[in-house]
Structure 1
């Protein structure tokens, strides 16, 4: 039977066989091509020409290699050319169009044809794999890139960092890692929806790309976390500028379909090999720096330093000690005046919580707020603050109210209203003298429970302030359904109005008009300049507060000022917001020739330092000042007073992102390794074999002795 079937097939005419070939080609099950001995196309299925959007006349007679090119530049066209020349069979070569319509992907196979022993050309098949190829390409892209922003994903970033650092270790090169976290991104999702959050992340990614004008790798690790790798950069001055540019660009307002919003950004920076040699080490260091930046008040950057880990551990201990702080009365309140915009009389005092810690000393209101955020003691501390503020305010003149910020967990707690009533009753204070500042974040929870709590507070008679209005998540729905007496405009919006054009002032003017229509008062916070104050008064703001009037003061100072006929504060542009700086008074090393001397650092600025401890040091003496962590600064003595010397740095220090100063560069561990030291981040002090900051000099006799005061102190 098999023979008869074969016999039947052989009886088909040439026209029937051609018809079968045409049907096969038209069905897409098989396409064919042929070339002559020179590699020029002699036949091509019409379906292929159609996919290329070219005519057969344009293709026949052309070399195959000029019509198709390899996928992803993998060099297969070159192999294809070699096979043509060697007259070898090939199969499975994926190629794309080099001419005609883009995006068409074909898998080619071919077999050489001989006439006797003479090569006559190739015959082959082609298969359309366009859809399959793009599916695989998309799968591979998803494995390496974030599907939402198009940036590298966590896996790709980890691989890129590890491979880069491995290569850079051999080449003794530097690499910086920046960790970024968006501030208050969650509230955008909660108020405007996840679609708005996704669009916001896309815009953040676009701004990130524009803000870094040098070779780098940018990735989204998930959620609102981003990472940047910048090769061959260890200049902390330049890195600080990049970080500030990122922070500034990301905090500009965003326009989304669902509304306008404003967010912030914190940045942690670590540099290999100083802060780590492997990918895990350097990312961990950058994470610690980011943690410190967020705890420092957000919207800032921070470089990694060796003491950050101890600082993080100590901070966790502080959070654990909060309960004890309340019970042992270590917490206390300071009060910031809220001033009537027209009369400049103090209308209210806003309570700020501080902590008199037995080891740390006084922890101010800004740092305490960052410690309290997310702590398990937030309910206990919040209740204490309301009770303490009411107890103090009961003794003030009845024309002065007390304002207390309410943490979201406390507001949402079942006995919150009862606690407020108890505090008022025990202090025997009129309810309308207590102003509770509530952030918009309270509306992210159970709507019915929030409305019930607000209604109960209104019934008690306390005054309610909607805090941080205009921060980007504001909704008129809050104002319609909640019995607020005041709107406090977000401090960041006020700051933008001070730095930029009248657009922000226009927004403030609109908020004032809205509050007036709803019979609410407005408060502007964070005012630092007379110019801004004048603009806000022109907008019609009712109440004002900020450094231009007063920083938070002690209870005793507030009570003293409130005596008499009222506290009036004249605004002064000379007052500026306190700069939070670390204590400079500490022991450091200075190096002269190959000798290291321990001295006390008394004063530090960008241009120089004041040291104490050495005797008989003449002007013009050059020291290498070791500020720790590989920070070596060449300095010259320009003033000499007994045991104290004034130094001038050859290269100015730069901001470290947290109110302190640091050197632009550090001694590379690779340089130490070449001199016989271990390849690791430097530890503070005592680098033997150094003269004028250089390695490998011969030893010499110490030229300076310690002053008597320094010797006694050391003893």
Structure 2
């Protein structure tokens, strides 16, 4: 502030420049006062003061004033502390001249002339204090010599009170200069800092506008667009000038502005703008040159320093791609991708709603299960591609048979279902079943093939055949089995007393169907660890069944039943969803592996079920690993490879389980990008016993995996010796009782204490 030390930062330099500008702006006042004082002295003291003395002093004042002007004029291009000191030197010269005036000229006159001189000096000091107020060094250099001169102007002969008064007056002016200079420096320092921050914000906003995908927008008090950003105008495909002053709602309404048809999101936006309240992540459709886009807007009201509303300022972004992706995921989660019909979960929702509506009414709602006859033979002989085309034609015929009051969908595989929300009489379902069988049994032309399939139908009616949707589905399924047992191509309604043999065969199946609903199934998690570091890399999800009467039932027993009864789909989907939900609570680098059967892969809705599980759990696709066995590649059909490619396209990891125990073929390894090959425990046990064949197989698998960019997991590692052996053979990951048995979710979660996971083994 004084200019006696160097400036270390840009803010200080800006304050210094402001000091010099302030002093320069009032310099004319100071110089004018000097000239007025000069004339005043000649008028008052010319008769009593020696003319040579008066002339010499006048010349000194003129020279000092000229020197001060010269020092201020010849500054460098960049102001610095030296300029403050040069400015202070000019002030010192003028202060010394006026001090000499008081010391020399003041004694030439009488009391009247003395009082006149004091009046003049007071005016000069006030004028100097005002002009040098922002520069305390110059103010001190100007006023301190004047204070000294006061002691010579007033002698000790009765003028001591006048001397004290004049000195106090001059010191007060000097103190006032310092106080003002301090306030001045603080204000300009704050202003400089705000300007610097404003420049930074402006720079960031410009970079944001240029490089970001979002844009800024703002409105005035009348909700008209103002200060249009270039990206905002570019997104709308117009020039910024065309948007200035136009209503924000009008721009977003597009052609709807004329007919008054506004989207719900636009109504919400208008309400927020009207109520002057903040909003965020408001998504609404916007028409741009005849095309509809989805925008996401956020904004807050802006006010001036007095709290007066100035309009809105916010940010917008085009989320059309995200919206379409979300709609696509929702579509995959509720509709079968092959036929376009509602999938199993969607049918279940509709059935639940129908049963809730029909409660207390008898008959209530109906449910029909439809299974194609001889479809498996066509699928096996002609391939899944022909089978898929056949299913698409079946779906179209089923839509044509069902009217607007009936809801049809694909239950899975070659099974379809129909929900009848209201059954007026007992003849409705037999009549519809007969129409379905007739329509689906007509010949199909698929490519160059003329195909013949039939249809069997089982039906159930609420509330007598089931008061809950699951019970009604089970009753219809039992009726369908009865129809299949009777040779197919017929309709059978559910009866309380079904064939005893079918009941016995389905006993375990029925219990298995209830297992999901009654939470009898649970998932255990076995850790998969890094072979070298012993760090948990992931878990394999293993389904277990504990029946309340039969106790624990081995997966070896109930999994084949589930596959035969086509329950492996819902069970596998439940395991997948449960495992994904649990894995979402683990660290981001830990994966979950879920086994997938050949029947699941052949199911057209399998990919949508995986997408739905990921979407509902929030688990990233890269953390899900699906394990398949070599049996999925039996035959010439490439349907499994296509499904696996779809899963890989979603970012899901693939693992080939039990490699080398079945139908090993290097051909499908070259066509499918597996991430991991799992080596069966039988080879691990054999290798630990130094069996040459097992050692050779493991080495070959490891070498093959490395060359194809795949990892290897050794299963069934139970001892330290087996661990060391698979390490030497080059296996990247290991799994087995040595590191942990299949465990409950809470036990698995304990392996990852916050904030870091724990290495085991």
User: What TM-score, normalized to structure 1?
Assistant: 0.39
Between Structure 1 and Structure 2, the one with more helix by share is 2
Query: Of the two, which has the highest radius of gyration?
Result: 2
Higher relative CO (CA 8 A, sep ≥ 6), structure 1 or 2?
Answer: 1
Between Structure 1 and Structure 2, the one with more strand by share is 1
User: What TM-score, normalized to structure 2?
Assistant: 0.37
